[in-house]
Amino acid sequence: MQLLSCYLFQKLSQSQIEQIAAITQEQQIQKGQWLFHKGQKATHIYLVKEGAIELVIKVEDTIEIPIAVIRPNDGCVGIGALVEPYLYSLSARCLNDSTLLVIEQPKLQNLMRSNPELGCTIMSNLAQKLLARLKETRQEVKIHFMNLVRSASF
Amino acid sequence: MQLLSCYLFQKLSQSQIEQIAAITQEQQIQKGQWLFHKGQKATHIYLVKEGAIELVIKVEDTIEIPIAVIRPNDGCVGIGALVEPYLYSLSARCLNDSTLLVIEQPKLQNLMRSNPELGCTIMSNLAQKLLARLKETRQEVKIHFMNLVRSASF
C-alpha cells in the first residue's frame, strides 16, 4: 500500500495503517497548479500516488530555489500540518498532472490524540526525517562556509 | 523546575514532569571538556543548570563552525539520543565550568515506550524545534544563494 512507503507511517501496525487509510482521500491535480504557499495555514498532508510535486522557496517574487521533487514513494509534502503553529514552511507546485493521496490535518490530529502510540510513532518518524534534513542543510552551509574561507585565503 | 524550561518537556503534566525528574541526575563538568563528538552513539541528553555548553561543527580538524551556545533555560543538547540511529549530529564542549542535568537515553526511551502519551508530546516538541531550526538554516542557505546571485549580476 502506498501509505506504507511514506516515512511518516513506517513502523505502524497493520491496524494503525488502516486507521490512516480510512482518513485518506484521492485528489487529481493539474500540472502547474500550486498546492500551497509558504506561510499559509497547513490544512493537509499530501502523498504522490502518480506524478510529481516540486517544493520551492521563493525569493523576492521572481527567483525560486528548488528544494526537492517528490514522486511516488518519496515521502510526503505538507509536514507543517503536524507541527505547531501548523503553517507550511515551503511552497509546493504540481510538476506533472498528478494523483495525490490527501489527509486532512484535523482528522490526523484527532487520530493521534485518541491513539498516542500511533502519534508517538508518527512524530518520531517525523523528527528523524527533520534531523536528517537539518544535517543535509547544515552540510550546504558548511560547503558555503568553506568556499568563503578558501576564497579569503587566496 | 529547570526541566520545565526545556522545549522537550513543554505541555507535559505535573506527574509526567516528575517521571522525567526521577530519571535525571546532576553532573559537574569543567571548562573545555567535550561532552560528545559528532557521529558518536548518543547515550545522554544534557540540560544546563549552571554554566554554558557550545555546539560546534568541526571542519577539517582545525576549523570549528559555531552553531549555538546553550545556557540555563536554553533547551538541551544531545537530541540525537531521541532519534534513530541515535547518534550525536554535532560536537559539544563545556564553555565554562558547568552543572548539567543528565538523562540517560535508555531510561528516557523506556519511559516513552511505557507512556506513549508522554512520548508523543516529547516527540512533537522535538519535531517543532527541528522544523524551526531547519527554517533558520534554510534561511542561511537562502542568504548565501542571494549573495551568489548578486555577485554574479555585477
Kindly determine whether residue B141 and residue A145, on different chains, have CB atoms separated by under 8 Å: no
Sheet holding B76-77, edge to edge: B24-29, B98-104, B44-50, B76-77
Confirm whether pTM is higher than 0.90. Answer: no
Position B30, amino acid: Q
In the predicted model, is pLDDT for residue A154 greater than 60? no
Cross-chain Cβ contact B141/A137 below 8 Å: yes
Exposed (0-12), middle (13-18) or buried (19+): which is B5, by Cβ within 10 Å?
A: middle
A20-54 per-position pLDDT tens digit: 999 999 999 999 999 999 999 999 999 999 999 99
Closest CA to A123 of B9, B80, B123: B123
Cα angle value B66/B29/B9 (rounded, 5°) = 70
What is the tens place of the pLDDT at every residue in B95-149? 999 999 999 999 999 999 999 999 999 999 999 999 998 888 877 777 776 776 6
- B127, B142, B149 member nearest A123 (Cβ): B127
How many contacts does A have with B, using Cβ atoms within 8 A?
99
Rounded Cα distance, A19 and A48, in Å: 19
Dihedral pair phi/psi, residue B124, rounded to 5°: -65, -40
Give the integer Cα–Cα distance in Å for B65 and B127: 24
Strand duo A53-59 + A91-94: pairing: antiparallel
Q: Do residues A30 and A83 touch, judged by C-beta distance below 8 A?
A: no
To the nearest whole Å, the CA of B12 is away from the closest chain A CA by 14
- Residue A2 three-state SS: helix
- Selected for mutation to probe chain B from A83, A88, A110, A145 (highest B CB count within 10 Å) is A83
Of A59, A126, A135, the CB nearest to B127: A126
Q: Do A135 and B89 touch (CB under 8 A)?
A: yes
Structure-block grid coordinates of residue B38? 559528532
The DSSP bridge pattern shows strands B76-77 and B63-70 to be unpaired
Q: Which of residues 77-136 of B touch A (CB under 8 A)?
A: 79-80, 82-84, 89, 112, 116-117, 119-120, 123-124, 126-128, 130-131, 133-135
Taking the CA atoms of B141, B142, B145 and B150 in sequence, report the sign of the dihedral they define: negative
Domains of chain A: 2-153 (2.60.120.10)
The answer to whether the CB atoms of A137 and B138 lie below 8 A apart is: yes
Closest Cα in chain A to B81? A128
Cβ <8 Å between B65 and A131:
no
pLDDT (tens digit per residue) in A79-107:
999 999 999 989 999 999 999 999 999 99
Do B85 and B76 form a contact (C-beta atoms < 8 A)?
no
CB A38 within 8 A of CB A79: no
Q: Which pLDDT value is given to residue A67?
A: 85
ipTM summary value: 0.85
Contact indicator for A70, A94 with CB cutoff of 8 Å: no
> How far apart are the C-alpha atoms of A80 and B131, rounded to whole Å?
8
Tell if the CB–CB gap between B131 and A59 is shorter than 8 Å.
no
